[in-house]
Amino acid sequence: MTPTTEATAPTYTKKDFESDQTIRWCPGCGDYAILATVQSVLAGLGIPREEFAVVSGIGCSSRFPYYLSTYGFHSIHGRAPAIATGVKLANPKLSVWVVTGDGDGLSIGGNHLLHVLRRNVDLKILMFNNRIYGLTKGQYSPTSEQGKVTKSTPYGSVDNPVDPVNFALAAGATFVARSVDVFRQHLSDTVAAAAMHRGAAFVEIYQNCNIFNDGAFESLTAKATREEKALYLEHGQPLRYGPEKSMGFALKGASLEKIDLKQHPEREKDLLIWDQEEPSGTLGMLANHLPKDPANPVPLGIFRRLEKPTFDAGMRAQIDAARAKRGPGNLEKLLYSGTTWTV
Amino acid sequence: MTPTTEATAPTYTKKDFESDQTIRWCPGCGDYAILATVQSVLAGLGIPREEFAVVSGIGCSSRFPYYLSTYGFHSIHGRAPAIATGVKLANPKLSVWVVTGDGDGLSIGGNHLLHVLRRNVDLKILMFNNRIYGLTKGQYSPTSEQGKVTKSTPYGSVDNPVDPVNFALAAGATFVARSVDVFRQHLSDTVAAAAMHRGAAFVEIYQNCNIFNDGAFESLTAKATREEKALYLEHGQPLRYGPEKSMGFALKGASLEKIDLKQHPEREKDLLIWDQEEPSGTLGMLANHLPKDPANPVPLGIFRRLEKPTFDAGMRAQIDAARAKRGPGNLEKLLYSGTTWTV
Amino acid sequence: MSQSDSAVRPTRKVETLDQVVIRFAGDSGDGMQLTGSQFTNTAALMGNDLATLPDFPAEIRAPAGTLAGVSGFQLRFSSYDIHTPGDAPDVLVAMNAAALKVNLGDLRAGGLLIVNTGGFGKKELDMAGYPKSPLEGDALRAYRVVAVDLNDLTKRALEGLGLSMKEALRCKNFFALGVCCWLFSRPLDPTETWIKSKFAKNEQMVEANLRVLRAGFNFADTTELFQTVYEVPPAAMPKGTYRNVMGNEALSMGFLAASELSGLEIFLGSYPITPASDILHTLAAYKNFGVTTFQAEDEIAAITSAIGASYAGKIGMTTTSGPGVALKTEALGLAVSLELPLVLVNVQRGGPSTGLPTKTEQADLFQAVLGRNGEAPIPVIAAASPSDCFYAAIEAVRLAIRYMTPVILLSDGYIANGSEPWLLPKVADLPKIEVRFAGQNGEPTPANFLPYLRDEKTLARPWAVPGTPGYEHRIGGIEKADKTGSISYDAENHERMCKLRQEKVNRIASDCPPPEFEGDEDADLVVLGWGSTHGAITGAVRQARAKGLSVARCHLRHVWPFPVGLGPILKRAKKVLIPEMNLGQLWRLVRSEYLVDAISLPKVQGRPFTSSEILEKIQSLS
Amino acid sequence: MSQSDSAVRPTRKVETLDQVVIRFAGDSGDGMQLTGSQFTNTAALMGNDLATLPDFPAEIRAPAGTLAGVSGFQLRFSSYDIHTPGDAPDVLVAMNAAALKVNLGDLRAGGLLIVNTGGFGKKELDMAGYPKSPLEGDALRAYRVVAVDLNDLTKRALEGLGLSMKEALRCKNFFALGVCCWLFSRPLDPTETWIKSKFAKNEQMVEANLRVLRAGFNFADTTELFQTVYEVPPAAMPKGTYRNVMGNEALSMGFLAASELSGLEIFLGSYPITPASDILHTLAAYKNFGVTTFQAEDEIAAITSAIGASYAGKIGMTTTSGPGVALKTEALGLAVSLELPLVLVNVQRGGPSTGLPTKTEQADLFQAVLGRNGEAPIPVIAAASPSDCFYAAIEAVRLAIRYMTPVILLSDGYIANGSEPWLLPKVADLPKIEVRFAGQNGEPTPANFLPYLRDEKTLARPWAVPGTPGYEHRIGGIEKADKTGSISYDAENHERMCKLRQEKVNRIASDCPPPEFEGDEDADLVVLGWGSTHGAITGAVRQARAKGLSVARCHLRHVWPFPVGLGPILKRAKKVLIPEMNLGQLWRLVRSEYLVDAISLPKVQGRPFTSSEILEKIQSLS
Ligand SMILES: Cc1ncc(C[n+]2csc(CCOP(=O)(O)OP(=O)(O)O)c2C)c(N)n1
Ligand SMILES: Cc1ncc(C[n+]2csc(CCOP(=O)(O)OP(=O)(O)O)c2C)c(N)n1
Ligand code: SF4
Ligand code: SF4
Ligand SMILES: [Mg+2]
Ligand SMILES: [Mg+2]
């Protein structure tokens, strides 16, 4: 089901998307903020409530569907994208959402995520990235920074983390974005944009787990540093950030150069104009390479948004075409087809 | 085991790496050429034969280890990277190779591949990409082009293919390359470079399956068009290709511009100088976006080569450090540690 | 069937046989599967009863001429009702030395051996491990040998057509087929028709194959190699229209039928694996039946996408073989917990692990019945023969929907690739499958929908699909409170739910026909079987009874839970014999259920039982 | 143990008890697990025998005050030999209304109920679903109620320390602990020592917790709330040094011991899952023992990396719970086919599917014994108690190496998190595990190494690890030719290999001690158990025998294959009773093996048997 703005569209409030289940997250968990935002966004899409199917895997984040008053499906670890593919293929009219965590989506479920993204199945995928395994009480995850000391890595983790946005870009996802649990308006806009996108929409949401990885995003979310640390990608706008938007980035060869506009106001014209429709993903990766340097801001917003035929529509079209061409299946005829003989 | 060039290194010929098993590939299969090349490369590395462990999954390609006279392990579908991780962690002295197919490595095994690459486990991974499932008799694979008609897609496949090189770049692989079964010298050089690399080395090898996907790479491999179609990436060299190397690419914003040097000899200086050490993967993706346009050449060679600490070395170092700091484990002491009481 | 005019009646002695077992054997590249199928097709059209057994290596084309590369196809055709592709072949066609080496041991003494001497060069002999040619000396004394150079004859037949040597030689299987058609008084036209349609796009190939086929026929007619020509009259089969069908094909059509009978569209999530892939291939072609086939990235995505589709109101199904089932285990547990309909087909092959991918076995029964974590009961049914796959597929869907449960349907490589004539049903005679989606039957919307409130009779819960207003609810794999389906960690609730799920499945035991039984009620020995041993057991028991032995047979279509009628049958027998293509899996389940000291007849050789193996055992027990 | 000087002996009536069952219950955030463990630790140090049963929700912190968020810890300590954490608690400490609601039903009539009235405000009562406070009226008449406002007392104890209200309240569990220490004449110093080391980096927390702990003790001493103070003298335990140990901890140490005994380093490939994760956490800390712990991307990578490590010459192991085993099924089949050593630990939890992640169950036995495709036999052993996990781990490694086979070791949530005193062994007394790598024993290098040539006695194949010159060979999951290990599709070879693999595992039945047996040889009733029911069965059978009933018990450490001694024991008994935390899995296996009409006593409630449940059943059968 695509969002509609017709007059007949139901009007809901956030409350209509709250379920009667007690919420079982830890007090202070970033998941609460995401839930509230998503409830509001869903209420505003104009899609009848019964046409939402929200599928999740396993993890704290994956408890999400219980707290929405829509159809909900809390499944098994890592498999939500595959289940959701089945739901969407079976009934393309539904608005199908996937909620997953960094462990659920990128550890055990990495492959399914890769494949729904490359197929461009029309799913809205929200990955709550708290860079930790919450539900199993604090082991490192594939997005944990190197050297992370956790229950399972008392000497620090050795592996390089995977970057969900890079991963999604390379997989060919047609909508790739990043937002933050506590940046309510930005999150709301980003989730709404994902909802409006036709095709696989992937949204990484930085989420604080105040029990096992408290403050993981604090340098970004702290009120004091927010402005310095958030680089909002806005289509058609130059890459600027910081107090008074006085910092920016320009292309230099195949990498980005940081420019202090206060010192070099003349270079404003060099700033890279953000193009979310650049198809190769190169630009997205370029912008996203920034966070690896702690001195750099964190890019947020939409890394890529492309219109491409969706998998579910393509599959349906084949059925329709076959029916148009060969007529609806006739079982009797099929059984008696080929070489038969009568006794 | 890292390749050695010491005087004591064993000297082998290709024959020393041939096993006594009858080869069971179809006559004409591209796998034969790869086998011969790899046998030669292994023979020339100076590593004792018994220190090779070659692990594969399932597929025609995965029969590879049977035909090498080294230690060999033909495992289950998609899991070779994980098995090889165990082998390498258990005995870091070994030279551990993974042989996989496009189905084995990117369909069922995509997640394991992602994780060995991001971890930078010191494995040499050869993926034979024939863009089809050979062993199961011709279904489309995740690298098959869209619209592919196969046994399982009589109406043509709907999904967008995944590009193995992009995937590996986004996963953070420290060595990413592409070669072709029948480009013997190039393949040999590429595999040898992978062997010399310390860390996860990923090589995509285009391979012709003459039974189920014959000619998949013919526009590249045909003698007549080879020169026009192969763009060799050479570190420190400009991106040039074609007869008399008269064509090339330059950076234009964040994408590549094709330049006909015959018409514009003055633009030679603009050509992009290939830098395999560009860390973000941006450049690699840029170059690799080319094949999507059939008018463009196919980039071959090394997309990225970076020195980074390996996972296996990091894991070993933790054990060594713990031993250095706490002394080797003393079981008796451990058992009797903590709160005990004596009756 | 009128005789084609290319097939002039020969003037040799005519002998009438009531059955023939013939095996074509050659290199993987020699087209033996095709030759066998064409001969089968012709036999079917002539009204014979028949059964086939293809047998090929796991490699696509193992190196030409090697033992590992030998491919075979056995066909038994008859003028009476038969049940297996036969024990020892009467006729063996060996296209090269390796094929002879691999197959000769099976040929019955005195059998007819047709060898292609063109496949016995020095190189071929070496590869087959023959120090010297078996065609010289008396190694083959026990057989009636007809040695012909099919290579040469084929090449000569094609002279002037402009084919390369390699292309020409690829036609030689049609020469052999022509010879055999002559020998067994078969018309050529079904094969000719097939050639014309198969190679429609390549006139040269049509011409070449037709020439070679006819050359073979004429060669046999002309030369003095054969003293006798055989006839196998049609079998007296029940009235009706027949087609020849392979198991995977019948199974696919069964699913299409179930779709029609239930009014629901099919969603098949699958990942290719031998010997199950053909079901995916077959169904993929029937998109106009509203079938969605999804080739997933792996087995886990295959089954979970099917679960998703069932959740959304289609018939979710997934097809695979043993190693694939292993990967689907966790998701099967989820399906049990969700109580959604789902059909999993396991076309069993030789195990453990990768095992023998192209060979048959029944060793996944334990896995089907008991192979999950937690108390996770799933009903298991099994197909008995190629055509029975059709009905088994319908029954699997019926149970899945009626009981809101995953169902496992077991087939195996033998019946999946084997074929037999199938008396086609009328679609109108097939019973409808009732589907009731909650909220779509005009009932008033409940204030508080209870997704785990059960039907009194079946204990099934309601099927409320997304899109239905007022029925929004949440499901998941965590234990659920009875009726409401909310998460519950309550101790008593958990026990109640475990027992309810078990009881629901148990009720199927009395909602299925009694097990098939043949023979006297008070027979001393009951031979109990399941799945594809059906034919071999039937044959053996009939022969034993014909010899006057007190034996009956019983066959399970519903393998788990055991149908209510099984206990009395087994308890009343003095002895129970259970032949299985495993080391005794049904045997163990039967012992545990009924405390009956049954006797196991295990066979784990990657190939089906012969009737005589079972008959022998019956005799030793009588 | 000297009494700390903060603990002045009170002057109340002193009563001596031989055992006490106490349960601490509160909100997930109230620190009940910690309180329980500290009290346990103290009891252990005082020489009591003891057993514990923690019980907590699957959520990290379910919303404060809800029923779903209640966390409990039960401890039984005694002056005699006990086997379970007790049936009904004698003492219940309830920190809030929800904790009372959830736990009250278990408290024995007349039991002592200590309630924190600070947790019974309007909001807490509402959340617990109490329309009015149960502390008013006679709802609690059946118990001895001591109602104190722990919140208030704690806050007051901390006045002046500068803690926020929230921080202060977090200490209240130590107040409760202080009260209980006084009540049961326990010293404070073990807890004080613990507090000092635990919060070493935060002086304020040390000070706060110590203050509150002592305040609780002194409060109990000063007020007139308790008329009696209890003593539970030490149990007469065998001589030796003890520590208190939890199952997962003992299991981890067992692996370290096996590593030392075999001289091989450990490789643990694991993926976190409750209740198994702690084994990964524990072993990860012991890198100086040469342990490699690899947190894999999923369960499949966890087991396959372990297989890779075994191939390369380490002890490969993998730890998980039921859903994880499901995912490892295919790889287990591979390990069977490869014949490499491997240990898989399944710490069972409630199923099916996600089920009850933090609760205990024994319902994965079928999965362990039979849950694979093909004929894929794997020996299964089970741990009986927390400390027994140590020995079970060693035995698993011994079998894996000796028989070159995967081994499944079953534990469960109950013993994994439960604890008991453990009489520590001397390392020197533990038997060595022999390892022979091919080509590393000075033998001449064979011209043609045969990787599947078997040891005559064990049928194990040689373990030739990469790096050994002259032993290069290839292995895989396709069927292998006997001895050479080359790919083989041969029919007879396949059957031979299947039978050899089965026979190898069967031989373990006579290479293990006879099953543990207690009671008269000719007892009428034998109670048969496996795994963690050991304690409850032992307690019940001893009580029954004390009542003069003719009953014995038998316990299986080697669950599959059944040890040779089991058959005679079961056949000679008139009745066999099998209590299990499942719907009858061992029961079915026993019936199938011995045709014994055993009686099942199933319990699937996510919690262990109490002795009285079993005793009751014994009595009903006597
Ligand atoms: C098959 C399986 N393996 C492991 C688990 C245990 N498990 C539950 S949640 C989880 C990780 C959750 O991490 P993430 O997805 O990041 O979610 P979070 O709790 O952080 O929101 C794991 C390992 C499981 N439930 N199932
Ligand atoms: C668990 C499992 N699923 C499916 C299969 C069947 N299978 C064998 S090989 C293969 C695909 C092989 O494709 P690819 O990796 O591209 O190798 P190729 O044969 O083309 O070299 C499949 C699906 C299997 N052996 N095991
Ligand atoms: S553990 Fe972390 S992610 Fe999970 S609910 Fe608590 S705060 Fe949130
Ligand atoms: S099927 Fe294709 S990939 Fe496999 S051996 Fe034959 S030619 Fe090679
Ligand atoms: Mg997380
Ligand atoms: Mg391939």
Which tens digit of pLDDT belongs to each residue from D536-553? 999 999 999 999 999 999
User: How far is the C-alpha of D440 from the C-alpha of D466, rounded, in Å?
Assistant: 12
- Mean of pLDDT over chain B: 94
ipTM of the assembly? 0.95
- Mean of pLDDT over chain D: 94
* CATH class in words for C516-621: alpha beta
**Residues on chain A touching D68 (C-beta within 8 angstroms):** 22, 24
Q: What is the mean pLDDT of residues C122-135?
A: 93
Cβ(C24)–Cβ(C39) below 8 Å: yes
What pLDDT is recorded for position C11?
67
Tell me which chain C residue has its CA closest to the CA of residue B142. Answer: C297
- Strand B247-252 to strand B240-241: parallel, antiparallel, or no bridges (unpaired)? antiparallel
User: How far is the C-alpha of A16 from the C-alpha of A36, rounded, in Å?
Assistant: 12
Cβ(C489)–Cβ(C480) below 8 Å: no
Mutate to test the interface with C, among B21, B23, B26, B208 (most CBs of C within 10 A): B26
For ligand 1, atom 11, which residue shows the shortest CA distance? A133
pTM, rounded to two decimals: 0.95
What pLDDT is recorded for position B255?
84
Q: Do B133 and C58 touch (CB under 8 A)?
A: no
- Strand C241-246 to strand A340-342: parallel, antiparallel, or no bridges (unpaired)? antiparallel
- Ligand 4 center to residue D528 CA distance, Å? 56
Question: Which residues, in sequence order, are CB contacts of C474 under 8 Å at separation 6+?
Answer: A19, A21, A65, A66, A71, A72, A73, A74, C485, C486
Task: Inform me whether the pLDDT recorded for B5 exceeds 60.
Answer: no
Q: What is the mean pLDDT of residues C124-131?
A: 93
What would the two tokens of residue C49 be?
A: 């009863």
Task: Inform me whether the pLDDT recorded for C391 exceeds 90.
Answer: yes
Q: Do A24 and D59 touch (CB under 8 A)?
A: yes
Residue type, B338: G
What pLDDT is recorded for position C8?
47
A110 touches chain D (CB under 8 A): yes
Which of the four CATH numbers 3.40.50.720, 3.40.630.10, 3.40.50.970, 1.10.10.10 does domain C243-429 have? 3.40.50.970
Touching chains, D (3+ CB pairs < 8 A): A, B, C
Q: In percent, how much of chain D has pLDDT > 70?
A: 98
- Rounded CA Rg of chain A: 22
**Per-residue confidence band for A279, with pLDDT thresholds at 50, 70 and 90:** confident
Q: Which of D60, D61, D277 to mutate to test the pocket of ligand 3 (most atoms within 8 A of CB)?
A: D60
What pLDDT is recorded for position A130?
98
Touching chains, B (3+ CB pairs < 8 A): A, C, D
Task: Inform me whether the pLDDT recorded for C1 exceeds 70.
Answer: no
What pLDDT is recorded for position A339?
85
Q: What is the mean pLDDT of residues C78-90?
A: 91
**Per-residue confidence band for A8, with pLDDT thresholds at 50, 70 and 90:** low
What pLDDT is recorded for position A7?
52
Asked which of A6-10, B297-301, C432-436 is least confident by mean pLDDT, the reply is A6-10
Which tens digit of pLDDT belongs to each residue from C528-544? 999 999 999 999 999 99
Which tens digit of pLDDT belongs to each residue from D424-478? 999 999 999 999 999 999 999 999 999 999 999 999 999 999 999 999 999 999 9
Task: Inform me whether the pLDDT recorded for B79 exceeds 60.
Answer: yes
* Extents of the domains making up chain C: 6-231, 243-429, 436-511, 516-621
Task: Inform me whether the pLDDT recorded for C464 exceeds 60.
Answer: yes
Task: Inform me whether the pLDDT recorded for A36 exceeds 50.
Answer: yes
Task: Inform me whether the pLDDT recorded for C231 exceeds 80.
Answer: yes
Which tens digit of pLDDT belongs to each residue from A205-253? 999 999 999 999 999 999 988 889 999 999 999 999 998 999 999 998 8
- Ligand 4 center to residue C357 CA distance, Å? 17
| Nearest CB to C372; choose among D352, D494, D605 | D352
**Per-residue confidence band for D11, with pLDDT thresholds at 50, 70 and 90:** low
Q: Which of D271, D279, D330, D367 to mutate to test the pocket of ligand 1 (most atoms within 8 A of CB)?
A: D271
Query: Residues 122 to 161 of A: which have CB under 8 A from any D CB?
Result: 133-137, 139-140, 142, 151-155
C410 touches chain D (CB under 8 A): no
| Nearest CB to B171; choose among A162, A253, A286 | A162
**What is the CA angle D529-D533-D536, rounded to 5?**
110
Q: Is B196 exposed, middle or buried (0-12, 13-18, 19+ CB in 10 A)?
A: middle
**Per-residue confidence band for D138, with pLDDT thresholds at 50, 70 and 90:** confident
Domains of chain A: 14-216+309-316 (3.40.50.970)
Q: In percent, how much of chain B has pLDDT > 70?
A: 97
**A29 Cβ closer than 6 Å to some ligand 3 atom:** yes
The end-to-end CA distance of chain C, in Å, is 46
Q: What is the mean pLDDT of residues B207-216?
A: 96
**B132 Cβ closer than 6 Å to some ligand 2 atom:** yes
Q: In percent, how much of chain A has pLDDT > 70?
A: 97
- Mean of pLDDT over chain C: 94
Q: What is the mean pLDDT of residues C89-117?
A: 94
User: How far is the C-alpha of C350 from the C-alpha of C362, rounded, in Å?
Assistant: 8
User: How far is the C-alpha of D283 from the C-alpha of C486, rounded, in Å?
Assistant: 37
Question: Which residues, in sequence order, are CB contacts of C11 under 8 Å at separation 6+?
Answer: none
What pLDDT is recorded for position C388?
98
Q: Do B19 and D244 touch (CB under 8 A)?
A: no
Element (H, E) at D393: helix D388-403
Q: Do A160 and B308 touch (CB under 8 A)?
A: yes
Tell me which chain B residue has its CA closest to the CA of residue D316. Answer: B86
Q: Do domains D6-231 and D516-621 have the same CATH topology?
A: no
What are the Cα distances from residue C544, in Å, to A197, C525, C540, C548? 70, 11, 6, 6
What pLDDT is recorded for position D4?
44
**Per-residue confidence band for D226, with pLDDT thresholds at 50, 70 and 90:** confident
How many residue contacts between B and C have a Cβ separation below 8 Å? 76
What pLDDT is recorded for position A291?
66
What pLDDT is recorded for position C398?
98
| Nearest CB to A22; choose among D66, D272, D287 | D66
C6-231 fold: Pyruvate-ferredoxin Oxidoreductase; domain 3 (3.40.920)
Q: What is the mean pLDDT of residues B176-205?
A: 98
**Residues on chain C touching A122 (C-beta within 8 angstroms):** none
| Nearest CB to B254; choose among A160, A251, A318 | A251
| Nearest CB to D326; choose among C338, C353, C373 | C373
- Report which of residues D3 and A85 the model is more confident about: A85
